[in-house]
Amino acid sequence: MMTRIKKALRLVSMSIIAYTVCITAQVITFNSPAPWITQRNDSIVVKAQLDTSKFSKKKIQLAVSKVENGKKVVVQTKIFKVKDITSDFALGLAKTDLIGGKNYLEIDWSIPQTAEKGLFAPIGIVKLSDSKSDVALHAVNAIGEVSAATIDGLVKDAKYTSLQNQQFTLVWNEKNLYVVVKKSAAKDWLRLAFDGKNGKNAFVAYSDKFVDYSGANDSLAAYDYERIYKDSISYNVKSWGNTITKFSNTNVTVICVPWSDLGLISFGGRMLGFSVYTVNAANDVIAALPATAQQFIPGTWSTLVLDK
């Protein structure tokens, strides 16, 4: 019994020593900005905690870079004096009001005349005051049953939105959001994007959902993305469990998206991020709503309002 206790104590002691080494080896800890964060302006202020005993010259160099289309361009580089354990370092402007999706900001740090260096990324910017998103779309509150027999009456006074050669309108009730698409000869896919939190973020997250509809094939696909950062950003398509259905009559096809699939509770006046795209057979986006929307930047999407 005593032997087991002694072994356990030795293991605990070794664990504490390993943890202490790990902590004391940490020269600098960055509190903000953090990876995947969305800034609302392009003023870059780095907040950090520093082990000042490791700074022989009491200086740190910070650089802000933009990485766009795989190319890295340094925007600002500054050397700061280290004066305290906690410090704010103002790096100036990133010189962009919008960066996100597969593009991002990177902040590199180094301690002059040492081997200590590192970086943190990706960081995005969506300056909402400069947002060029179009006027919000509206979904009509359905009164009564929504079915192939009743849908024409429900949308008889609705305003249809045109995108390329397709037209759609929106209806909702407490169970579903209904995307009503006029039948046409269009071969392109209609892609619907939903941001339930309406966060206007710079990067697509797992909670953002996408639904593709092909009128030519009369088919649906629903998915979200796993996002990965390792020297660059990639988004891996993942199917998500859903109960999305559709029905048709002579005039329209109706895509029924349950609120439970989007993780939302519906009520009049609710707003969510929303954008629509037409996509060709090569998966190229050929039109977007709003026109400036970028699929991987929810901050560029429009807002959908559920009418009371």
The reply to whether domains 29-127 and 131-306 share a CATH topology is yes
**Domain boundary assignment for the chain:** 29-127, 131-306
CATH of 131-306, one of 2.60.40.1190, 3.30.230.10, 3.40.190.10, 2.60.40.10: 2.60.40.1190
Q: What's the chain look like in SS3?
A: CHHHHHHHHHHHHHHHHHHHHHHHCCCEEEEECCCCCEECCCEEEEEEEECHHHCCCCEEEEEEEEEECCEEEEEEEEEEECCCCEEEEEEEECCCCEECCCCEEEEEEECCCCCCEEEEEEEEEECHHHCCCCCCEEEEECCCCCCCCCHHHHCCCCCCEEECCEEEEEEECCCEEEEEEECCCCCCEEEEEEECCCCCCCCCCCCCEEEEEECCCCEEEEEEEEEEECCCEEEEEEECCCCCEEEECCCEEEEEEEHHHHCCCCCCCCEEEEEEEEECCCCCEEEEECCCCECCEHHHCEEEEECC
- In this prediction, residue 11 carries a pLDDT of 47
Tens digit of pLDDT at every position of the chain (308 positions)? 445 444 444 444 444 433 333 333 578 888 999 999 999 999 999 999 988 887 778 899 999 999 999 999 999 999 999 888 999 999 999 999 999 999 999 999 999 888 889 999 999 999 988 766 667 899 999 987 899 999 999 999 889 999 998 999 999 999 999 999 999 988 999 999 999 999 999 999 999 999 999 999 999 999 999 999 999 999 999 989 899 999 999 999 999 999 999 999 999 999 999 999 999 999 999 999 999 999 999 999 999 999 99
- The pTM for the full model equals 0.86
CATH of 29-127, one of 1.10.260, 2.30.30, 2.60.40, 2.40.170: 2.60.40
- In this prediction, residue 144 carries a pLDDT of 79
- In this prediction, residue 132 carries a pLDDT of 65
